[in-house]
Amino acid sequence: MIPSILPTYNRAPLSFVRGEGAWLIEADGRRFLDLGAGIAVNALGHAHPGLVEALTEQAGRLWHTSNLFHIPKQQELADRLVAETFADTVFFTNSGTEACELAIKMARKHFHDAGQPGRTTILTFEGAFHGRSSAAIAAAGSEKMTKGFEPLLPGFRHLPWGDHDALHAAIDETVGAILIEPVQGEGGIRALPDQCLKGLRALCDAHGLLLILDEVQCGMGRTGRLFAHEWAGVTPDIMMVAKGIGGGFPLGAVLATEAAAAGMGAGTHGSTYGGNPLACAVGCAVMAHVADPDFLAGVRRKSALLRQRLEGLVAAHPDVFEEVRGMGLMLGLKCRMPNTEVVQAGHDALLITVPAADNVLRLLPPLTITEAEIAEALTRLDAAATALETA
Ligand SMILES: *Cc1c(COP(=O)(O)O)cnc(C)c1O
């Protein structure tokens, strides 16, 4: 008999009833150290007092009005994002998938209005993840997500990761945009080298293409900069954001330059909930912390510490781990045994991690994790690895 919840997820036999910073408290009282942060969502940890206050204050006044009216917190958040980034304009969504939908629509509309309606192809990359809508699975293209869901939305050309010749050969008069994650998350924590991102920008400029970055997972301070592309010193034309921006409240956004977004006038797109007062009150509070240079310096400091300790862990457990990869507090441990077994051993050691493709264990702690908690995480990872070795 089908369960009352559509069984699209394999869930761990854990249910958490409370969170405190980097800690999750199970129904039976056990305290788990959270290096998953709800898949890079809880950027400020669980039950952050500033976020609780922002949400409850708004909840006591006004929940929802629709985008038929001005929403002061939405305006404040858009202004802040525009001030802190390359973008001239922002559209708010409820998720990363919806941000992907708009990014694709925006690119198509851009070329339609530019008198180049044939430039509908978007180049994407193997290992990508952009969400689970029909457009997002067509964009990513992996069989795991698309099989059985055909016919797929046309207009995507999938390229191998890191193959410059294939990329250059794929550009023809039908191509309008390149869509890529600066750091692949689901794909196994694969960071695009700075020179490659610079190269993509140059290629887009040379061919009049739009560069669309998916920073849903790697953005909002995750890599130690507000957005990951800042490390390469280049900017996109369109950027997808979600996950960390709401700190646990559903919120996403598409950021764009004026030129890229020019065709998106009244009536071209919409969302009933997108940018609603509750989401944007929380989003403003998240931004106030994450955009602070001192906060980002702290993320970089903690990243260096965690990374150094993980190198030691890999050296101590060569039968379990192969290497450390990633940036900031978006780190991956490539495993030598099935990553799902390592995740399970972590649970046994009261530690939450997230599996990814390429047999990688993702470490995505709250950006507020303390140095003492990082030390405790290493103790628990070491215990998990030791248990796997002796099993
Ligand atoms: C999670 C994710 C998405 C999809 O976001 P949802 O909020 O789950 O719709 C898109 N792109 C990337 C890179 C992601 O990590």
Whole-angstrom distance, CA of residue 296 vs CA of residue 88 = 23
pLDDT score of 209: 98
Q: Is the pLDDT of residue 391 over 90?
A: no
Residue nearest (by alpha carbon) to ligand 1 atom 11: 130
- The average pLDDT across 87-102 equals 98
C-alpha torsion 378→380→383→389, nearest 10: -70
Query: Is residue 235 over pLDDT 90?
Result: yes
Q: How many CA atoms lie within 13 A of 128 on its CB side?
A: 33
pLDDT confidence bin for 312, thresholds 50/70/90: very high
pTM over 0.95: yes
Closest ligand 1 atom to 39 CA: 1
At 144-178, the pLDDT tens digits run 999 999 999 999 999 999 899 999 999 999 999 99
For residue 93, what is the DSSP state?
E
C-alpha span between 235 and 109 (Å, rounded): 20
Q: What percent of the chain is helix, strand and coil (3-state, nearest 5)?
A: 40, 20, 40
Q: Which residues of 10-20 are buried (b: 16+ CB within 10 A; e: fewer)?
A: eeeeeeeeebe
Lining ligand 1 with CB less than 6 A are: 95-97, 100, 129-131, 181, 185-186, 214, 216-217, 242-243
Does position 41 have pLDDT exceeding 90, yes or no?
yes
Distance, in Å, from the CA atom of 171 to the CA atom of 157, rounded to the nearest integer, reads 10
Q: What is the pLDDT of residues 10-23, one digit of tens each?
A: 999 999 999 999 99
For residue 132, how far is its CA from the centre of ligand 1 (angstroms)?
8
Q: Using one digit for the tens of pLDDT, what is the confidence trace for 247-305? A: 999 999 999 999 999 999 999 999 999 999 999 999 999 999 999 999 999 999 999 99
CATH 3.40.640.10 assigned to domain 70-263+270-290? The reply is: yes
- Give percent of the chain above pLDDT 90: 99
Find out whether 241 and 215 touch, Cβ atoms under 8 Å: yes
Mean pLDDT of the chain: 98
Domains of the chain, by residue range, sit at 70-263+270-290
% pLDDT > 70, the chain: 100
Q: Give 191's DSSP letter.
A: E
Q: Which atom of ligand 1 is nearest to the CA of 96?
A: 5
Taking the C-alpha atoms of residue 372 and residue 252, their distance in angstroms, rounded to an integer, is 32
Confidence of residue 372 (pLDDT cuts 50, 70, 90): very high
- Record the tokens describing residue 221, joined without a space: 């301070």
Distance 240 CA to ligand 1 centre (A): 9
